A and B are shown apart, each in its own frame.
Chain A
């Protein structure tokens, strides 16, 4: 029996009068890669942010390794083994690449010196660019930096928001390969939000489909890929 790492139970949240999530339930097992697919504005990014407590849940619960973290402040959730590479990457533009990476480790209590080689192995480009300011990197490099920064905290659970957005297909394949490698070598648990449903479902063990704040479908990556309604709605015209 697989051990549940993350459990989202009937989570509802929103911004002001807008109800972005209307009771979402899903779970991610230890060592699993789970993807969440859905159209723009379905609430995918809101779900990832809300797991981190920003915005706060209006109803429902979030459990990490069985512990209720719904009401915890964001920084405590992140220190407890969750890391996120968020929508828009959110690189600190006036810090060097190295400082961005160190920021990933410092509050989580990890020693940057031991974590840096891991990340540089995964993304050698970041090592070449380490003295450069974050804001001067290309889109692909920023994406690597955002993921690398998240990995610096040695998370139990990695939340990835659209790692392939705006990237050339070659770079996006590199990033997906890196995620798979981490999952296989370290057993890293990943919850991945993607618009590129085809690539995401091939990578993931399981997937959920989010439509306007509700989960409408779930299943293994292969199952979802085979469904005609998924093909029509999310895979039409892609690759």
Chain B
């Protein structure tokens, strides 16, 4: 019982990281109908920018307390958003109006570009980071087994909820969010109402990249490593989460992320850590075969 509770906590905190990334996949898909295969690498870039920011703060002796973490998050979001904007501007916008596969191929190319750029500029080796946030709250004890909610997990859960709350408010309550939903439902009509659709699409990439950078920062702090290839597996899992939740559905992306996090964690805890990726990708196959519209996706196939 205690063991399962611990896994539940671990699964939720991992799932929230997937959810943050999945939102970026699903948002871009909703608006321009393409899978941004470079999004996982944007997450990786976010992790690296945080790493650099943390190391700079450490060398300045300022990596102390929640304010420092917040500063790292803000720096990472700002720079990663710039990457997201640039990727769209350079690799996708010129192909708008082209055949459907063109931006997908361009996205794969962009993914390789980002990986190689980081590999060349930061080196190919895995970068370790000493644990910055240690300790936790003891929830219960069963024999020798202690169920712990670590401060790191609290940080993940609290910051993800905060970021998603801001994001939800942005999408549902603001003029920008309305413009994004309008573009998602009928881009031509949005333009006929005076919406600058190119700008709205750019903003979707900027917001998606900012969310992915939060995920990157949290992932780095939790697992203490970053390397140029880390975006691939995490990205594909977040993509799986988006598909499972129903691609195009924002709440679906978060739900899918949580489910993938839980499935992966429980699989590792009860079956096999080595095969945890098989569990996650098995879900992708099952979802595509039996539930192609996902859990919260719309039934009808819509042209975007």
From B178, B182, B191, B194, contact of A54 by CB (8 A): B191
* A108 interface residue per 8 A CB criterion: yes
From A90, A94, A108, contact of B194 by CB (8 A): A108
Residue of B nearest to A89 (CB): B189
From A86, A99, A102, contact of B192 by CB (8 A): A86
* A106 interface residue per 8 A CB criterion: yes
Whole-angstrom CA separation of A54 from B191 in the bound complex = 9
Q: Which residues of B contact A (CB under 8 A)?
A: 175, 178-179, 181-182, 185-186, 188-197
Q: Can you list 14 A-B pairs with a CB-CB distance of less than 8 A? A: A74-B192, A75-B191, A83-B193, A90-B189, A90-B192, A94-B185, A95-B181, A99-B178, A103-B178, A103-B195, A106-B175, A106-B178, A106-B193, A108-B194
Whole-angstrom CA separation of A153 from B195 in the bound complex = 12
* A107 interface residue per 8 A CB criterion: yes
Q: How far is the CB of B247 from chain A (nearest CB, A)?
A: 15
A108 contacts which chain B residues (CB < 8 A)?
193-194
Whole-angstrom CA separation of A153 from B179 in the bound complex = 15
Q: How far is the CB of B175 from chain A (nearest CB, A)?
A: 5
Work out how many contacts link A and B, with CB atoms closer than 8 A. 61
Residue of B nearest to A159 (CB): B192
Whole-angstrom CA separation of A75 from B199 in the bound complex = 11
Knowing A99-B178, A107-B179, say if A149 contacts B185 (CB, 8 Å). no
B195 close to A107 (CB less than 8 A): yes
Q: How far is the CB of A228 from chain B (nearest CB, A)?
A: 38
> Beyond A78-B193, A92-B189, A103-B179: 15 further Cβ-contacts under 8 Å?
A52-B192, A73-B196, A74-B191, A75-B191, A78-B194, A86-B189, A86-B192, A93-B185, A102-B178, A103-B195, A107-B179, A107-B194, A107-B195, A107-B196, A149-B193
Q: Mark A63-107, 1 if CB is under 8 A from B, else 0.
A: 000000000011110110001101000101111000100111011
Whole-angstrom CA separation of A75 from B188 in the bound complex = 10
Knowing A54-B191, A106-B175, say if A75 contacts B196 (CB, 8 Å). yes
Residue of A nearest to B172 (CB): A99
B175 contacts which chain A residues (CB < 8 A)?
106
A90 contacts which chain B residues (CB < 8 A)?
186, 188-189, 192
B196 contacts which chain A residues (CB < 8 A)?
73, 75, 107
Residue of B nearest to A107 (CB): B194
Residue of B nearest to A79 (CB): B194
Q: Mark A154-198, 1 if CB is under 8 A from B, else 0.
A: 000000000000000000000000000000000000000000000
